[in-house]
Amino acid sequence: MKILLVDNGTTLLSKLEKLIPEKEVVVRVDDLNREMSDDFDLVILSGSSKYSVMEDVEKFVQEIDLIKNTQKPLIGICFGFELIVKAFGGSLKRLEVKDKGIQEIEILDKKLSDKPVVSVYESHRWEIEKLPGIFNVLARSKTGPEIIKHKNLPIYGFQFHPENFVDETDGDEVFTRVFSYLNSPTNVGI
């Protein structure tokens, strides 16, 4: 499987590369164009410690275009999750206090985990205000959806960071399960 990893300015890039069970090609968001996804089997959008979807949307026009137009499987992590929501017409709102640290989320789709509640690492300033109706919520927390899946396309979003604190949390296991579904011969997903 050929994987395109879009670096949106994350400080966790090396951890994300370790989490992905196959070799990936890393492209900085500044060098991205929509046609790049044609050469890959899966696109992963990283988090970002530099930007805000709502305040820097003009910087991510190419990435939003890729999200809206690709037929390839796609996974967005934190900032990538927020870009997916924005690309499909959803809205975000700024949290009064940054959501940071290890927290528990409720798993709504049993294919994601054998546990009804898992611990994950959060680090974000935005939450979903309005989720487009074309997404199912697969997991949630006190601040809203934590894992979403497009109803018709193999597009997933993780609000948390599955690549961080992998020894203390379950986020990496949930990510690996989704990755495995996307890497299956039928590519049907969860």
For the question of residue 163 being annotated catalytic, the response is yes
pLDDT digits (tens, 9 = 90+) for 136-155: 999 999 889 999 999 999 99
The total number of structural domains in the chain stands at 1
Asked if residue 22 is part of any domain, the answer here is yes
Q: Give the pLDDT confidence score for residue 125 in this predicted structure.
A: 87
Q: Which of 63, 78, 82, 127 is catalytic?
A: 78
For the question of residue 161 being annotated catalytic, the response is yes
Asked if residue 190 is part of any domain, the answer here is no
What CATH code is carried by the domain that includes residue 171?
3.40.50.880
Asked if residue 169 is part of any domain, the answer here is yes
Question: Are the C-beta atoms of 189 and 42 separated by less than 8 Å?
Answer: no
pTM of the model: 0.93
Q: Which of 24, 63, 82, 163 is catalytic?
A: 163
Nearest CA to 63 out of 17, 105, 27 is that of: 27
Domain extent for 76: 3-182
For the question of residue 150 being annotated catalytic, the response is no
pLDDT digits (tens, 9 = 90+) for 102-121: 999 999 999 999 999 999 99
The residues that bridge with 106 in the sheet, in sequence order, are 117, 140
Q: Which of 82, 122, 146, 161 is catalytic?
A: 161
Asked if residue 189 is part of any domain, the answer here is no
